[in-house]
Amino acid sequence: MGATDAIILVGGMGTRLRPLTLSAPKPMLPTAGVPFLTHLVARIREAGVTHIVLGTSYRAEVFQSYFGDGSAFGVEMEYVIEAEPLGTGGGIRNVVDRLRGDTVLAFNGDVLSGVDLRELLATHDDTDADVTLYLTKVEDPRAFGCVPTDAEGRVTAFLEKDPDPVTDQINAGTYVFRRALLDAIPAGRPVSVERETFPGLLAAGARVMGHVDETYWRDLGRPADFVAGSADLVQGLAPSPALPGPIGRALVLPGARVDPTAVLSGGTTVGVGAVVWAGAVVDGSVLFDGATVGPGAVVRRSVLGFGAVVGAGAVLEDAVVGDRSRIGDRVELLGGARVWPDVTVPDGGIRFSSDL
């Protein structure tokens, strides 16, 4: 039967990705050359679902000004704004009156995945489920929803952010709902779909099925995952119909300038108007539009915000540099350093490392 509507939850504050999310919400950060959400929208469209409702809250206007009515992306896009964040379950409940069909796909807006959405929908139909949860397996499940299933694939528990997980199988952040169930979520107050709705449905005996898929999966909520996810898109490890260029070692957007002696690798993206000077090495990193990497600088697994500048001979590893900030010549930022927007770090003035 398939789904008619998709809901994407994009109302989170993206706190773990600050300072990048001070100016744009997490799903709108440039990822392999386009706002992250563009990849997800393209995958939803590819699965034949063309009506998409965004559940927004934080910086809602940024989504609307980019996607508009969705027609440029081959979909019909609607927006529902929460004045106060209603949580994941509240966000879903809040858009129910926009839905048109009996089967609804709901997505966390910050997940990059290789799951075949048509297969997920087929599992839902074939098993006559009330809800079907896309599940995957990770090494450390503690940061996610832990979701054990029985031999028939039926979900037996939903344990959000459990410090002592009973299985490495987790909620991958995409659900298929029988629409009627959504009306039962309380309206007008914050609800967590993970902590309240799913445990409640299980206790009430609803038929909650798991669809386990172990192809590509990554939540882009933390800086290390954000850069790795972008690099995986550029290198074709994560599938996306929206990659704005060929798969390769690097994606260089129009109007960027890269000196022929600079070395780009590891799925680096060089944004529009960005500049990489002679002898620089940029590996597995994301350079937002207008960023500059100075001569001989080394930038690995890092994000440079809009218009950020890295001076000559500087070394950045696992760093996040806010919009318009300037990292001085020969400065070293290692081990997860974060520089806020509009900051100037003086030449040679700092060696920051978490393992000093």
The listed partner (ligand GDD, Mg ion, none) that binds 160, CB under 5 to 8 Å by sort, is ligand GDD
The listed partner (ligand GDD, Mg ion, none) that binds 280, CB under 5 to 8 Å by sort, is none
The listed partner (ligand GDD, Mg ion, none) that binds 318, CB under 5 to 8 Å by sort, is none
**Given the complex with ligand GDD, which of 82 and 318 has the nearer CB atom?**
82
Nearest distance in Å: CB 41, Mg ion: 17
Nearest distance in Å: CB 220, ligand GDD: 9
Judged by the rule CB under 5 A, the positions of this chain that interact with Mg ion are 110, 219, 221
**Given the complex with ligand GDD, which of 10 and 227 has the nearer CB atom?**
10
Please give the structure tokens belonging to residue 108: 């966390």
Q: Could you tell me the end-to-end alpha-carbon distance of the chain, in angstroms, rounded to an integer?
A: 58
Nearest distance in Å: CB 242, ligand GDD: 18
The listed partner (ligand GDD, Mg ion, none) that binds 325, CB under 5 to 8 Å by sort, is none
**Given the complex with Mg ion, which of 217 and 277 has the nearer CB atom?**
217
**Given the complex with ligand GDD, which of 189 and 351 has the nearer CB atom?**
189
Please give the structure tokens belonging to residue 279: 């002898």
SS3 at position 281: strand
Nearest distance in Å: CB 309, Mg ion: 30
Q: How far is CA 216 from CA 73, 114, 144, 236, in A?
A: 24, 5, 16, 11
Question: How far out from the chain centre does Cα 68 lie?
Answer: 20
Handedness of CA 141, 88, 174, 229 (dihedral sign): negative
Nearest distance in Å: CB 27, ligand GDD: 6
Nearest distance in Å: CB 307, ligand GDD: 25
76 phi/psi in degrees, rounded to 5: -105, 115
Nearest distance in Å: CB 114, ligand GDD: 14
**Given the complex with Mg ion, which of 221 and 341 has the nearer CB atom?**
221
Strand partners, 170: 136, 146
Identify which of 144, 188, 197, 196 has the alpha carbon closest to the alpha carbon of residue 169.
144
CB 43 within 8 A of CB 88: no
Judged by the rule CB under 6 A, the positions of this chain that interact with ligand GDD are 9-12, 55, 57, 82, 85-88, 91, 108-111, 144-145, 160, 170-171, 173, 194, 219, 221
**Given the complex with Mg ion, which of 24 and 291 has the nearer CB atom?**
24
**Given the complex with Mg ion, which of 45 and 218 has the nearer CB atom?**
218
The listed partner (Mg ion, ligand GDD, none) that binds 11, CB under 5 to 8 Å by sort, is ligand GDD
The listed partner (Mg ion, ligand GDD, none) that binds 12, CB under 5 to 8 Å by sort, is ligand GDD
Neighbours of 254 (CB within 10 A): 10
SS3 at position 101: coil
The listed partner (Mg ion, ligand GDD, none) that binds 88, CB under 5 to 8 Å by sort, is ligand GDD
**Given the complex with ligand GDD, which of 1 and 166 has the nearer CB atom?**
166
Please give the structure tokens belonging to residue 190: 């914050």
CB 202 within 8 A of CB 208: yes
**Given the complex with ligand GDD, which of 137 and 154 has the nearer CB atom?**
137
Distance CA 9, CA 27 (A): 10
Question: How far out from the chain centre does Cα 328 lie?
Answer: 30
Nearest distance in Å: CB 321, Mg ion: 22
Distance CA 269, CA 282 (A): 9
Cβ neighbours of residue 52 closer than 8 Å, sequence gap 6 or more: 5, 6, 7, 8, 41, 44, 70, 75, 76, 77, 78
The listed partner (ligand GDD, Mg ion, none) that binds 322, CB under 5 to 8 Å by sort, is none
Nearest distance in Å: CB 111, ligand GDD: 5
Question: How far out from the chain centre does Cα 171 lie?
Answer: 15
The listed partner (Mg ion, ligand GDD, none) that binds 288, CB under 5 to 8 Å by sort, is none
